[in-house]
Amino acid sequence: MKVRIEFTYKTPKGTNATFSSEEMNAGKAILLTEDLERTERGKNLTFIDSMENSWTLKELKEFMKEIETEPHNITVYFDGGFDLETRKSGLGCAIYYEQNGKSLRLRRNALVQELNTNNEAEYAALHLGLRELEHMQVHDLPVRLVGDSQVVINQLNGEWPCLEEELSKWADRIEAKLSQLRIQPEYELVSRKKNREADRLATQALKEIEITSTIETASDM
């Protein structure tokens, strides 16, 4: 979960100014706020999440304690590739999240044969990522969904119309899964270079190299 901090700063002589921070992980925001409170110059401290909901320090601490043992601060990278010659598709997803005070990464790929275009493979890769979130029992959280497909990202965020029947069916599947898990999607379009991990997983799937792994990673806190 990411939030920004809004607060009023008061100098010893009584001059006030209101500040708003950049968006950051909730755990980091709590640490910064507690440090600010120790100076006794930060007043009216409020946290604003990505849905523009307001939280007090007490409320945010309680929420973070409740979800500590569950996956949270989740980002899903996805990519799909389609081989025209073999008519096979490679799907890849890399899921970064926090749980029990650890930063973790899950990687998963799959080889499928029932698709007909690269755009379908991209949608299917995102759906693979959402199914992994379902297995992880993720629900009622904001989740970053990151890919390099302009078609998928722009169609799902409503910027582009979805006119092709097959792609429309995939978009409906994605939205149904998000609704089922009560996930608030935050779509992000990145370059292929920044989506290299998911791209590599999709390529490995096309080579029939199956990947399923979960490891601990360095924290960005």
The mean-pLDDT minimum among 13-17, 70-74, 159-163, 176-180 falls in 13-17
User: Domains in the chain, please, with CATH?
Assistant: 2-67 (no CATH), 72-217 (3.30.420.10)
Can you name the residues that pair with 98 across neighbouring β-strands?
Answer: 72, 103
pLDDT of residue 55: 92
Nearest C-alpha neighbor of 78 from the set 91, 88, 90: 91
The DSSP result for 175-197, as a single string, is HHHHHHHT-EEEEEE--TGGGHH
Q: pLDDT-based confidence at 78, cuts 50/70/90? A: very high
Residues contacting residue 155 through CB under 8 Å, at least 6 positions apart = 161, 162, 167, 171
Q: How many CA atoms are closer than 13 Å to the CA of 92, on its beta-carbon side?
A: 26
Residue 73 predicted with pLDDT over 50? yes
Q: d(Cα 203, Cα 219) in Å, to the nearest integer?
A: 27
* Residue 27 predicted with pLDDT over 90: no
Which residues are paired to 182 by β-bridges?
none
pLDDT at 43: 76
pLDDT value of position 165: 95
| pLDDT attached to residue 219 | 62
The amino acid occupying position 38 is R
Contact of 74 with 95, CB cutoff 8 Å: yes
State the average pLDDT for the chain: 92
* DSSP letters for 72-133: EEEEEEEEEEEETTTTEEEEEEEEEEEETTEEEEEEEEEEESS--SHHHHHHHHHHHHHHHH
The confidence band for 1, taking pLDDT boundaries of 50, 70 and 90, is: confident
pTM score of the predicted model: 0.80
Q: Is pLDDT above 60 for 177? A: yes
Tell me: the pLDDT tens digits for 114-153? 999 999 999 999 999 999 999 999 998 999 999 999 999 9
